[in-house]
């Protein structure tokens, strides 16, 4: 038995591959293009492990995907590969449409051809799991109930629009062709191996470097945080027990305004790695807001809890402490990531954001 994972050198995919091999022992073929967000350092502990086969390649490459399916005969595809950063999608949406829409289409077509060629139990057991986001549902008002699986789609950024399009393709390939798919829409993840362009790792990295902590707008935007290994266990649960054609919302019941997240990180760093210059709070800097910034996301995770028995293991307090400690203990991983390309991105994204 083998599964194919796409995007397994990224943040969540990398955590998933490590977690999957540690918990199930089942081999993984990991297809990843190694964009700026892909990092083989994350998978270093699997070097020489025959259960992990890494393939550098593009999910838009149909011939490559066909040959991987023919060679490895997987029982499932778990699809993480995507362009994932909202700010980058505002600066350059083209790559988001290519990878997230065309890439998902290519995978679905290859999976459909492969699945049509399977027989008996192998055909009945095959699954295509699509990893998506709560951002497809749009933005909530302060008193709206959290997103359920039947919420209307109202994507607001080029990123969320491209993910919404990919969700629709997955749904249609099941409805029209019978492809055995499941989809999960998850809230904001955090934890080890998170690329330091996203809020939590960026704040940790900037604080340790004595750089400003850029808070977009008023800092009162709300996200619902989930520790990454809880997302991995949710996907494992869906693969094992999820119903074909169903969507599962995954979240940690941890709604927090951004400024509170930053203050929590500051308190932990003040405790674990105090600065000679005083509290890291001195670095908080309010900057120009993200265009079209969604105000609030929140996930109603009761369906996966009720139907599949999944629950997150970490609270925000335990997860954020582990995360800050991981970054303190793994500064070499962070330094490897802070390449020339990363510095170019920081210059581009923050240059136009005056302190306000
Ligand atoms: P990431 O940006 O850290 O990693 C994406 C990975 O995909 C990278 O390794 C990259 O090299 C690879 N990739 C990109 N384009 C590719 C292509 N054309 N072919 C093959 N590989 C390609 O992303 P992430 O944060 O780990 O997110 C993984 C998935 O989870 C995405 O689908 C994202 O939409 C979804 N998601 C993320 C979050 C979150 O908080 N990070 C929350 C909900 C859902
Ligand atoms: O909700 C799930 C989504 O969460 C995923 O689908 C995306 O792939 C993932 O990137 C994440 O999107 P966000 O836009 O919510 O994450 P980000 O870390 O970029 O920003 C979190 C919040 O923090 C958001 O309100 C913007 C704000 N922010 C972000 C950065 C990078 C700041 O205030 N300052 C910053 O420098």
Whole-number Å distance between alpha carbons of 288 and 282: 19
For residue 352, is pLDDT > 80? no
Active-site pick, 32, 135, 167, 230: 135
pTM: 0.98
CA distances in angstroms from 56 to 96, 195, 224, 302, 304, listed in the order given: 19, 19, 32, 37, 33
CA 81-84-85 angle, to 5 degrees, is: 160
Contact 10, 81 (CB under 8 A): yes
Where does ligand 2 bind, in terms of residues with CB under 6 Å? 84-86, 133-135, 187-188, 198-199, 202, 214-216, 221, 223, 258, 290, 297
Q: Which atom of ligand 2 is nearest to the CA of 294?
A: 25
49 is in which domain, residue-wise?
3-193+227-256+297-314
Ligand nearest to the CA of 42: 1
DSSP assignment letter at 38: -
Q: pLDDT value at position 102? A: 98
CA 161 to chain centre: 16
| Confidence at residue 229, expressed as pLDDT on a 0 to 100 scale | 98
Q: Where are the alpha helices (DSSP H) in the chain?
A: 11-24, 62-72, 86-91, 94-96, 104-116, 120-125, 158-177, 199-208, 228-241, 258-272, 302-308, 316-329, 331-337, 340-351
**Cα of 125 from ligand 2 centre, angstroms:** 36
Give the span between the Cα atoms of 111 and 130, in whole angstroms: 12
Any domain includes 279: no
- The residue whose CB lies within 8 Å of the most ligand 1 atoms, and thus the one to mutate among 12, 68, 198, is 12
CA 48 to ligand 2 center in whole angstroms: 35
pLDDT of residue 56: 97
249 in Cβ contact with 226 (< 8 Å): no
Contact (Cβ atoms closer than 8 angstroms) between residue 285 and residue 355 = yes
Asked, for residue 134, whether it belongs to a domain, the answer is yes
pLDDT above 80 for 85: yes
Task: Examine residue 285 and state whether it is found in any structural domain, yes or no.
Answer: no
- For the stretch 102-119, pLDDT in tens is 999 999 999 999 999 999
Residue with tokens 């599949």: 308
For residue 198, being part of any structural domain is answered with no
Backbone angles phi, psi at 216, to 5 degrees: -70, 135
The 10s digit of each residue's pLDDT in 186-224 is 999 999 999 999 999 999 999 999 999 999 999 999 999
Backbone angles phi, psi at 50, to 5 degrees: -70, -10
For residue 338, pLDDT over 90 is answered with: no
Is 350 designated active site? no
User: Would you say residue 142 lies in a domain?
Assistant: yes
Phi and psi (nearest 5°) for 281? -60, -25
Question: What Cα–Cα distance (Å) separates residue 290 from each residue in 37, 188, 227, 294, 350?
Answer: 21, 17, 24, 9, 10
Structure confidence at residue 314 (pLDDT): 97
Which of 7, 95, 224, 234 for a ligand 1 pocket mutation test, highest count of atoms within 8 Å of Cβ?
7
201 lies in some domain = no
CATH code, domain with 12? 3.40.50.720
Kindly state whether residue 200 falls inside one of the protein's structural domains.
no
Q: What percent of the chain has pLDDT over 70?
A: 100
Count of domains forming the chain: 1
pLDDT digit string, tens, across residues 301-322 = 999 999 999 999 999 999 999 9
Paired tokens of 13: 């995919």
Q: What is the pLDDT of residues 137-196, one digit of tens each?
A: 999 999 999 999 999 999 999 999 999 999 999 999 999 999 999 999 999 999 999 999
Which pLDDT does position 175 carry in this prediction?
98
Answer whether 33's CB lies under 8 Å from 81's CB: yes
Instruction: Tell me which of 159, 193, 286, 327 is the catalytic residue.
Output: 159
Confidence (pLDDT) at 344:
83
Nearest CA to 79 among 152, 156, 173? 173
């Amino acid at each position: 038995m083998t599964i194919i994972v796409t995007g397994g050198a990224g943040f969540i995919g990398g955590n998933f591959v490590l977690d999957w091999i540690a918990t199930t022992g089942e081999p993984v073929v990991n297809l990843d293009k190694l964009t700026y967000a892909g990092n083989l350092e994350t998978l270093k502990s699997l070097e020489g492990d025959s259960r992990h086969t890494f393939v550098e390649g593009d999910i838009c490459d149909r011939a490559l995907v066909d040959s991987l399916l023919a060679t490895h005969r997987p029982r499932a595809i778990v699809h993480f590969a995507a362009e994932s950063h909202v700010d980058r999608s505002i600066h350059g949406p083209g790559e988001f449409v290519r990878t997230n829409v065309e890439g998902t289409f290519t995978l679905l077509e290859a999976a459909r051809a492969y699945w049509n060629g399977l027989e008996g139990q192998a055909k009945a057991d095959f699954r295509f799991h699509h990893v998506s986001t709560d951002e497809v549902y749009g933005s909530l008002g302060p008193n709206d109930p959290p997103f359920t699986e039947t919420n209307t789609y109202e994507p607001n950024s080029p990123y969320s629009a491209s993910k919404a399009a990919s969700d629709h393709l997955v749904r249609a390939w099941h409805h029209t062709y019978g492809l055995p798919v499941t989809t999960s829409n998850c809230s904001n993840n955090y934890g080890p191996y998170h690329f330091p362009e996203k809020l939590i790792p960026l704040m940790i990295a900037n604080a340790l470097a004595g750089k400003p902590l850029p808070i977009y707008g008023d800092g009162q935007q709300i996200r619902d945080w989930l520790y990454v290994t809880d997302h991995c266990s949710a996907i494992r649960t869906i693969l094992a027990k999820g119903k074909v054609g169903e969507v599962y919302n995954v979240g940690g019941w941890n709604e927090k305004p951004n400024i509170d997240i930053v203050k929590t990180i500051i308190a932990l760093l003040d405790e674990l790695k105090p600065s000679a210059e005083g509290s890291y709070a001195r670095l908080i800097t309010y900057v120009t807001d993200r265009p079209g910034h969604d105000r609030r996301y929140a996930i109603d995770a009761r369906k996966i809890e009720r139907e599949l028995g999944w629950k997150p293991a970490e609270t925000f307090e335990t997860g954020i402490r582990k995360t800050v400690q991981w970054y303190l203990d793994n500064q070499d991983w962070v330094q490897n990531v802070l390449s020339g390309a990363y510095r170019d991105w920081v210059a581009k994204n923050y240059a136009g954001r005056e302190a306000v």
